[in-house]
Structure 1
Amino acid sequence: MRELAHAYTEDTQVKWNGVLGRMELKAENDVKLQQVNVYPDIAGKRIKVKAVLVRTNPQTTQAEVTLQVNCAETGKSYEPQTYPVAFPHDTVCIEKEYALGEDMRLWDEFSPTLYTLQASCHTRQGTDRYETTFGMREIGHTDGYLTINGNRVFLRGTLECCIFPLTGTPPTDEAGWEKVFSTAKAWGLNHLRFHSYCPPEAAFKVADRMGFYLQVELPNWSLTVGKDTATNRFLYQEFDRIIAAYGNHPSFCMLSAGNELQPDFQFLNAFVGYMKRQDNRHLYATTTFTFEQGHGTQPEPEDDFFVTQWTDKGWIRGQGVFDAEEPNFNKDYRQAAEGIKVPLISHEIGQYSVYPDMKEIGNYTGTLEPLNLKAIQKDLEKKGLAGKAERYLQVSGRFAVQLYKEEIERAMKTPQFSGYQLLGLQDFPGQGTALVGLVNAFWESKKLTDERYFRQFCSPVVPLARFEKATWTTNETFAAQVEIANYYKEDIRGKHILWQLTDKTGYEVGRGKLDAGTFKKGTVTSAGEIHVGLEKVRNAAQLCLKVTIEDTDWENSWSIWVYPPLKELNAGDVVLTQDISQALSALDAGKKVLLSPRPDKLEGLEGKFLPVFWSPVHFPKQAGTMGILCDPKHPALLHFPTEMHSDWQWWNLVKHSKVLVMDSLPDLQPIIEVTDNFVNNRRLASVFETKYGKGKLIMSSIDLLSTKSKQKPEVKQLLYSLTQYMNSADFVPTGTVSKQDLLPFFSKQNKGVEKRTDARSIYEE
């Protein structure tokens, strides 16, 4: 049984009790303004005010209530309105309308205008005052699209999981939350989902000012929902308390009954029906995703919005498809999203694990101690790998950036989507350590990329490109369809779309200008097609396609890899073989050998493109690798352009490979390493060079010689680059191996090497 909530769990903080923030004693007047709720009426340019007054002195029968609205942004103070109130009972509710006039300003992410309502209740014994802020904001959905004030909105979100290592508790001051929201905004986000908890008042105040859309959740992460009457009663009461305390905040847009709830959806639907009747200023959902059989693939009857990983027509996040499907940048999730009648939001996309940053240990100067990071550091030191920790961080992190980019762009290419929720922009230190973030647990950048690059694809306006593959040959014509996702406050009119295709030296392969058009707000609109012949590319190259909206800061870029077509390979005096016996004979004769066995003949780890999902501790049945590590300037890679990390051109190479465990050969320096997960910290490789007797060897556990593999241009190119190197004066391996060193890579008796994972799902533990 699991009963959790991020407001109270060991996963992200200490377990705390008591009161946080302000405590005060207040002498009450004979009549108290217990609650004042503000309901915006955009069409009527007015608000409806509902106030609850409680009499503590039965001798008081009359009072006066005065309402006054102010707007700090405009400096306007509206005319006060005063109403008499009689007390036939101790509790009285009043409803009044208050006009704001033609100069009323709306609240949204682009113009977060705030108003202040000051309410006062006057009696002979004194005056009670109540002040609240509000914004003229109405959230809804039309034709399945999320809207704010009638305009379509796309949520660019991440989770906030109550991760505050210095205190172990969420901040109750605005300064603490300003760091959270300012960092999120710098990375292009406009939305935070509070995972299974409701934040304190300070978070709402900062979000109000900065124009963030918040999803709040009840403290409910349970597999036994509806089973306990005391818990059920608490959830109803907690909802009432949350609405009473925070309901006026315009940033408070959505509320879910909890995270990944199971099993009683009859209870949950009835509960959401109650929420909707109590307060119509927010949208409500039964759960934020669920694994419950028979649920979770379509919205529940009472859902106002739908957060999920999949529908009954397929996945709507890349984690489910990127390792199974060859790279194709034409794809989106429109087929899986078909027929969804409420706003559709992709659940916890990403979850690509990044190697720990050992430098972060010094940041823990408060309540929590990073025992997990210290244990990893100690293991690295014991194994002589501490010097590689920074490179492990950089390659796994930069690889994760490219995966997040494609995740986000597929979501933005999907016309039916209303947004996504990352898991996460920030690391999650719980569940065995899930370091999936591009910022650390302190909301500080890990320097894996800069915010400006991330905003290329995480902004209100994003140029998008659809093209069929990552790798091309010089006898092909590169073709791409350009689209503009416009979720800005206005249409984009009269702007040309500029494009440029260049190599890393700045050499221009092509450029052009697409006709100016109108890109209406709230739409994903085609801008035209790009066609450019690649015959000008003489050598293997990584090209950058850059698309810019004329006279704006909105731009985006993508890499493609282009190779000359290789019909036949001249291997020179290098022996190419898949057979270990043939390789050993040739080496004994003093020859140069490139040995590339079929992966099914090798012992090692599964060749996977995607890095560790979430946490190798929490989900231990994964292959457990985190992408390649290489030196792009190594002469063996002279004709195979690459960064130091995995990218899309590596997909076919690593998917048709085994990863070799090199712990028994610590002195060998691989040409292509593989980053292990931080639980195991093994020496892993896909390609290494060495001396063997009188011969010289390159062994590749990437399948370079099978007929099917050699049809891929990137496979041909890597093989060509390796053989060119082996036929050059640069090929001078320094390490030495024996037959006894090599045979364990093939021997089925080697019990020390992990076998291929048998997990059928990333969720199997």
Structure 2
Amino acid sequence: MKNILLLIVSSFLLCSWSPSLNKKTIDISGQWTVQLDSTDIGLQNGWQNKIFNQVIQLPGTTDDARIGIPNKLKPSLEKPQLSHLTRKNSYIGAAWYTRKVSIPKGWKGKQLILKLERVIWKTNVWVDGKEVSAGQNSLVSPHYFDLSNYLIPGKTQRITVRVDNRKQFDISLENMAHAYTNMTQIIWNGIIGEMNIEAVDAVHVSNLQVQPDIDLNKIKVSVTLKNNSKSTQKGVLNIVAIHKKSKKSITAVTQKVQIEKGESVAEFDYNMGKDIKLWSEFSPELYELKVEVKTAKYKSEKVVDFGMRKFSKKGTVLTVNNKAVFLRGTLECNIFPLTGHPPMDKKGWEKVFGTAKKWGLNHLRFHSWCPPEAAFEVADEMGFYLQVELPVWILNIGQDQGVNDFLYSEAQHMIDEYGNHPSFCMWSMGNELQGDMSFLNEMVKNFKGKDNRHLYTSTSFTFEKGHGLLPELEDDFFITQWTNKGWVRGQGVFNSEPPTFNKDYSAAVQDITLPLITHEIGQYAVYPKIDEISKYTGVLEPLNFKAVKEDLERKGLISKAEDYTKASGKLAVILYKEEIERALKTAGISGFQLLDLHDFPGQGTALVGLLDAFWDSKNLISAEGFRQFSSPVVPLIRFPKATYTNNESFVAALDVSNYSGNPLNEKVIEWSIMDNDILLASGSKKRTIKSGYNQEVLDINESLQKITKATKLTVKVALKDTDYKNEWNVWVYPQQQTIDYGKVVYTRSLEEAYKLLDAGHKVLLNPDWKKIKGIEGKFVPVFWSPVHFPKQAGTMGVLCDPMHKVFSDFPTDMHTDWQWWDLNVNSTTLIVDSIIGGNPLVEMVDNFANNRKLASLFEGSIGSGKLVIASFDLSKDLMERPVVKQMLISILNYMNSESFNPATIKNPDSLKLILSEEKNKISDSPTSVY
């Protein structure tokens, strides 16, 4: 049992002490030998006494060394190839690693601690064939072994490590938790990160924890001391804090201590002085705390970084240093396709956090895993707010005592190893946990009592019946996709409700009394970027990407691949933008967690990112463009719809989300309405923008009468002399237009269309979309993955040529935008693979699991007649549906022009099968992952 020495220091002793002890370590990375033990014969055959024949470099993995079962799968549009990236060499089981080490003679009498920074999952160690007591099994922290009784200074000896990467506890639903998975990282075997032996004195500092108190300008310091000598020791603790940037030292202090045998803890307050530098996203100021323990015979030093910050809550608002903060976050799911494991150095994490910051984010959630030390260090330096999770994603939480004990042990490791990092702000017990929710509440209560430097939540959302609609009893914050009053993410409403931009989630959060974070918003699939294949030069083979490429090549569609990515990706951009802006507009919401800014290569190849799995842009939107709606300050407008007729006015309320930490005094807010480069209207007002959400800062009310033809307008808002700006598209159509069919004959019957075509007519065939065969029309694209959720209408948005004459009176880009909503949801997407000839005017991008030719507007010549087939509804309530009316007018104008000269359909009978009636179209919605 630990001895607690509670030392509250009220007056500090000035001294000139400046700790400069050098750590004594031996780096044992480099060349080792390895032997796989798939049949578990190593121990009985005495492998702990052997040097093996095969060489491996550690840190590293068997995958790095190309050891294990070679992949024999070929690219194919099926599982497992489409489930995730494929390991080039796989191995699950025990593996033995050995090498010789020499311990310096001068280390006699020292304690010798072996550190293996990260391992999956269980390790045992032998020295010269003698097993070191107590194996290790942490997934979140280094494995430590005390080799003091085994290593002899001045002698060369053999160290053997047995690593078993088989599942030790059932902590993962279908191995999807990202601490133990082949979905993102891989279930690698090996040792990564630091590998060393450290020599420490018999009396030494084994752990050092710092709890900042910014209100009292002090820190509470907890020093864990180990005394392995034969008697109680009298000594002193020397303590000093140093501001890392300026190198300025706070007043050093010395404190006498009596150190009992075994382990004891000394706790005391340390005054940081008046001029403290606070840590936040805007000022990531760091301090270094050095503690030295010194006795007559022994001395030891421990150094940790910390930040003076308070991450807290005030009602429904998250605060940092008593100022409101809004989390702009995405997930990090252990996605590192070259290595199959997380970077263990700062350079690798600088890419992750640097890119996230460039794209306007300030928050990362580590879904069902805990990153290594290097990640926290970089987040500290860049000012990122991290949510870290225990390595668990199961549906029976609390029901397995072995799992329970493991999770409590892992939590203590996380406190000991990473608790000082100011970036470690939030802690969730795991992802979408179900089972005994009282167990989770008790766990949260327990951890709060141990470490109150973080805010806690019981789970990152849950599907557990009777839970998930409101926070759990012990929650400090609440992560959810819906509440007892409705959705708080657009994925639930964007397809079912007409586009409107004056909505928020205020009604849904009215019963929530804690800060609410929206759970995994987005998940809009983007078509695979085929040229990404060449980037996979590491341990993983992109058989999923290769299968899609080969399928497109077989079908003669490879030339469209780039457009498929662009069109589906641009649709994802507009949806992500509205997702984020609705969250920003809602008082009571304190942040969002995207799934994801970058691709998720597992769970059915879920390419939901605007960046690829390497954190590189797909060029769907620039980082600057994304920051317009994901920044500390975001101008916003509320307006009722995306499409107007020119007898209306554009009416909007201008709001500003300001989480910059301070009011913006006397800022000029400028707005304009543009027709390309032509200014149609503008205005400005000077306002003070208070911290938090500022509603109805000013109003816009502008007549649209001057618009005489169908036009896309851009509404722009900017805060003058800042980088903060935003913009939105709206579409205006002339209200006084007559529908002139001219020489075009409209019909809903294929048989009638054949007769009219035989007679040489121009025919607009608009069959009843509710009856014809095909795929249910959707505005939103595939949710998450067509492989993981196969029972969904799996299209990925419009693809068209905006310069084609059919769109002369219907302004559009090459991709879906909000004006397409009515057309898309009131349609059936036609599968036109079997048509030979003709030309799709409006294609729908198919999902990559099928790669069919799809269309909702198609043209072709049959005999002496000319045909356009429209599978969206062009017949009902046209006066109340201006978009549909405008599309019909544009189609008719094209068909009545000399430009209408479509290619011949060589097999016109194919239309009979394509347009045949079918009551049960492909229209199932995605079901739960469970």
Find the residue that maps to 2:476 and give its secondary structure: coil
1:733 aligns with 2:898: no
- Larger helix proportion of the pair: 1
Question: What aligned pairs does 1:500-649 form with structure 2 within 5 A after superposition?
Answer: 500-504=672-676, 506-513=677-684, 515-649=685-819
1:521 shift after superposition = 1.1
Match of 2:363 in 1: 191
After superposition, give the CA deviation of every residue in 1:380-413 in whole Å (9 maximum; x if it has no partner): 1111111110000000001111110000000000
1:18 shift after superposition = 4.0
On the 8 A contact 2:838/2:861 being kept in 1, the answer is no
1:207 aligns with 2:372: no
Find the residue that maps to 2:706 and give its secondary structure: coil
1:177 shift after superposition = 0.2
Greater mean alpha carbon deviation, residues 543-552 or residues 580-589: 580-589
Find the residue that maps to 1:227 and give its secondary structure: coil
Q: 2:516 aligns with which of 329, 344, 356?
A: 344
Match of 1:757 in 2: 922
Q: 1:408 aligns with which of 580, 595, 608?
A: 580
Alignment partners' CA distance in 2, 1:741 and 1:67: 84
1:665 shift after superposition = 1.1
1:168 aligns with 2:333: no
1:33 aligns with 2:205: yes
Find the residue that maps to 1:26 and give its secondary structure: strand
Find the residue that maps to 1:27 and give its secondary structure: strand
Q: State the aligned residue count.
A: 758
Match of 1:179 in 2: 351
Alignment partners' CA distance in 1, 2:185 and 2:415: 26
Alignment partners' CA distance in 1, 2:731 and 2:479: 36
Greater mean alpha carbon deviation, residues 215-224 or residues 664-673: 664-673
After superposition, give the CA deviation of every residue in 1:160-219 in whole Å (9 maximum; x if it has no partner): 000001101100000000000000001000000000000000000000000000000000
Match of 2:153 in 1: none
Find the residue that maps to 1:231 and give its secondary structure: helix
Match of 2:614 in 1: 442
Match of 1:64 in 2: 236
Find the residue that maps to 2:507 and give its secondary structure: helix
Alignment partners' CA distance in 2, 1:380 and 1:3: 31
After superposition, give the CA deviation of every residue in 1:224-257 in whole Å (9 maximum; x if it has no partner): 2111101000000100010000000000001111
1:95 shift after superposition = 1.2
Question: What aligned pairs does 1:262-281 form with structure 2 within 5 A after superposition?
Answer: 262-281=434-453
Alignment partners' CA distance in 1, 2:427 and 2:246: 31
Match of 2:170 in 1: none
Find the residue that maps to 1:568 and give its secondary structure: coil
Match of 1:711 in 2: 880
Alignment partners' CA distance in 1, 2:751 and 2:551: 37
Alignment partners' CA distance in 2, 1:680 and 1:386: 14
Alignment partners' CA distance in 1, 2:418 and 2:757: 75
Match of 2:46 in 1: none
1:566 shift after superposition = 4.2
Find the residue that maps to 1:408 and give its secondary structure: helix
Greater mean alpha carbon deviation, residues 222-231 or residues 344-353: 222-231
Match of 2:865 in 1: 695
Q: 2:916 aligns with which of 728, 733, 747?
A: 747
Greater mean alpha carbon deviation, residues 573-582 or residues 683-692: 573-582
Give the direction of change, closer, same or farther, for the CA distance of 1:127–1:666 in structure 2 (3 Å limit): farther
After superposition, give the CA deviation of every residue in 1:139-160 in whole Å (9 maximum; x if it has no partner): 1111121111111110000000
Q: 1:487 aligns with which of 648, 651, 659?
A: 659
1:99 shift after superposition = 1.2
1:73 shift after superposition = 2.1
On the 8 A contact 1:8/1:16 being kept in 2, the answer is no
Unmatched runs of 5 consecutive residues or more in structure 2: 1-172
Alignment partners' CA distance in 2, 1:262 and 1:676: 35
Match of 1:229 in 2: 401
Alignment partners' CA distance in 2, 1:119 and 1:731: 82
Match of 2:137 in 1: none
1:2 shift after superposition = 4.2
1:3 shift after superposition = 5.3
Match of 1:102 in 2: 274
On the 8 A contact 1:497/1:527 being kept in 2, the answer is no
On the 8 A contact 1:396/1:675 being kept in 2, the answer is yes
Greater mean alpha carbon deviation, residues 576-585 or residues 362-371: 576-585
Give the direction of change, closer, same or farther, for the CA distance of 1:89–1:709 in structure 2 (3 Å limit): farther
After superposition, give the CA deviation of every residue in 1:41-85 in whole Å (9 maximum; x if it has no partner): 111111111111110102352111111110022331122111111
Alignment partners' CA distance in 2, 1:697 and 1:331: 41
On the 8 A contact 2:239/2:291 being kept in 1, the answer is yes
Find the residue that maps to 1:64 and give its secondary structure: strand
1:579 shift after superposition = 2.3
1:329 aligns with 2:501: yes
The one-letter code matched in structure 2 to 1:545 is V
On the 8 A contact 1:605/1:755 being kept in 2, the answer is no
Q: 2:414 aligns with which of 242, 251, 256?
A: 242
The one-letter code matched in structure 1 to 2:733 is Y
Percent of aligned pairs with the same amino acid: 51
Unmatched runs of 5 consecutive residues or more in structure 1: none
The one-letter code matched in structure 2 to 1:19 is I
Match of 2:155 in 1: none
Find the residue that maps to 1:682 and give its secondary structure: coil
Alignment partners' CA distance in 2, 1:586 and 1:433: 47
On the 8 A contact 1:563/1:713 being kept in 2, the answer is yes
After superposition, give the CA deviation of every residue in 1:326-359 in whole Å (9 maximum; x if it has no partner): 0010101010011211110000000000000011
Greater mean alpha carbon deviation, residues 62-71 or residues 515-524: 515-524
Match of 1:675 in 2: 845
1:519 shift after superposition = 1.4
The one-letter code matched in structure 1 to 2:328 is R
Find the residue that maps to 2:912 and give its secondary structure: helix
1:467 aligns with 2:636: no
Find the residue that maps to 1:736 and give its secondary structure: coil
Alignment partners' CA distance in 1, 2:433 and 2:241: 41
Alignment partners' CA distance in 2, 1:571 and 1:758: 33
Match of 1:457 in 2: 629
On the 8 A contact 2:838/2:902 being kept in 1, the answer is no
1:735 shift after superposition = 2.3
After superposition, give the CA deviation of every residue in 1:508-543 in whole Å (9 maximum; x if it has no partner): 221111x32221112333211101111111211110
Match of 1:146 in 2: 318
TM-score under structure 1 length normalisation: 0.97
Alignment partners' CA distance in 2, 1:594 and 1:406: 35
Alignment partners' CA distance in 2, 1:13 and 1:39: 33
The one-letter code matched in structure 2 to 1:146 is L
Greater mean alpha carbon deviation, residues 636-645 or residues 124-133: 124-133
User: CA RMSD, aligned part only?
Assistant: 1.4
On the 8 A contact 1:704/1:710 being kept in 2, the answer is no
Match of 1:77 in 2: 249
Alignment partners' CA distance in 1, 2:444 and 2:543: 41
Q: 1:383 aligns with which of 539, 542, 555?
A: 555
After superposition, give the CA deviation of every residue in 1:531-586 in whole Å (9 maximum; x if it has no partner): 11111112111100000112211000000001111442111111122222332222
1:500 shift after superposition = 0.5
On the 8 A contact 2:835/2:911 being kept in 1, the answer is no
Find the residue that maps to 2:313 and give its secondary structure: strand
After superposition, give the CA deviation of every residue in 1:9-47 in whole Å (9 maximum; x if it has no partner): 011122123432001111221211111111111111111
Alignment partners' CA distance in 1, 2:188 and 2:878: 56
Q: 2:540 aligns with which of 368, 375, 392?
A: 368
On the 8 A contact 1:690/1:737 being kept in 2, the answer is no
1:428 shift after superposition = 0.4
